[in-house]
Amino acid sequence: MFTLRPARETDRAALYRICLETGASGQDATHLYADPLILGHVYAGPYLTYAPGFAFVLEDQRSGEVMGYVLGTPDTAAFEATLERGWWPPLRDLYPDPADVPRAARTPDERIVHLIHHPPRAPHDVLAEYPAHLHIDLLPGAQGGGRGRALMTTLLEALRVAGVRGLHLGVGESNVRAQGFYRHLGFQELRRAPGAVTFGLRL
Ligand code: ACO
């Protein structure tokens, strides 16, 4: 049995762990990264810090363990600007920019550190229609039982209440399971680049 509840600051370590354990196109990425926090710094931490009202978790009622999350932000452009001011600078001090390492030679850690120094901006045309974005990850023991849908429904309702008109998300091209999940929930494919697919949903 699982409880769905708003995320709390005390969930931060669990969010980082789940991010890592689902970080290889939905599979465990623990063996890929030397630094177990590096993925969470990009895909989990800033959402809990800067958009806590749009962060929800699944808690196993018996163990009290957090088993999954959905993390969103209603205004991607504002979120990117906030991260540029407050989130990335200390991380850039901590992790040197691997820009001098040729792209093909970068380790998985270096690829993520490169994102910390050079975060991609969501395209304007996507933001015009779909200003919010999200990340959702459930550990294997919580997958496939309707809980991903429940987390999405909760976040979508919070975004609607906030007056948001649409949201987008990026998913790895090889993560076909998650792509099927998004299509089933009504998302439309917006664009496809090497390695990544962008989906959008009007609210
Ligand atoms: N194709 C078609 N339909 C699907 C698929 C699929 N691949 N997967 C699920 N569905 C359907 C289900 O049948 C169900 O239908 P129903 O509600 O109409 O009966 C509905 O989608 C909801 O399925 P859930 O059981 O809620 O899905 P789940 O709990 O497994 O959550 C998720 C899906 C989030 C992808 C989960 O499996 C997961 O966390 N996987 C690992 C991490 C991951 O890949 N995260 C996405 C990264 S991309 C990003 O965050 C933007």
- What are the tens digits of pLDDT across the range 20-51? 999 999 999 999 999 999 999 999 999 999 99
Residues flanking ligand 1, CB < 6 Å: 22, 26, 135-138, 143-149, 169-171, 175, 177-178, 180-181, 184
Closest approach atom of ligand 1 to CA 185:
21
What is the complex's ipTM, to 2 decimals?
0.99
Per-residue pLDDT, averaged over 92-116, amounts to: 96
Domain coordinates of the chain in residue numbers?
Answer: 2-202
Per-residue pLDDT, averaged over 182-191, amounts to: 98
> What is the per-residue pLDDT for 60?
97
Write down how long the chain is: 203
Q: Which residue's C-alpha comes closest to atom 51 of ligand 1?
A: 135
Residue at token pair 């959702």: 136
Q: Cα-flanking dihedrals φ and ψ of residue 19, to 5°? A: -60, -45
Per-residue pLDDT, averaged over 80-89, amounts to: 98
> What is the per-residue pLDDT for 83?
98
Q: State the pLDDT confidence band at 9, using cuts at 50, 70 and 90.
A: very high
Start-to-end C-alpha separation, the chain: 29
As a whole-number percent, the residues of the chain with pLDDT over 90 amount to: 99
Cα 193 to middle of ligand 1, angstroms: 22
3-state secondary structure of 10: helix
Q: State the pLDDT confidence band at 105, using cuts at 50, 70 and 90.
A: very high
- What are the tens digits of pLDDT across the range 132-185? 999 999 999 999 999 999 999 999 999 999 999 999 999 999 999 999 999 999
d(CA 35, CA 33): 5
- Identify whether the C-beta of residue 133 lies closer than 8 Å to the C-beta of residue 47: no
> Which of 179, 132, 139 is CA-nearest to residue 156?
132
Q: Which CATH class is domain 2-202?
A: alpha beta
Q: Which two tokens stand for residue 156?
A: 């979508």
* HEC sequence for 15-71: HHHHHHHCCECCECCHHHCCCCCHHHHHHCHHHHHHCHHHEEEEEECCCCCEEEEEE
pTM tops 0.90: yes
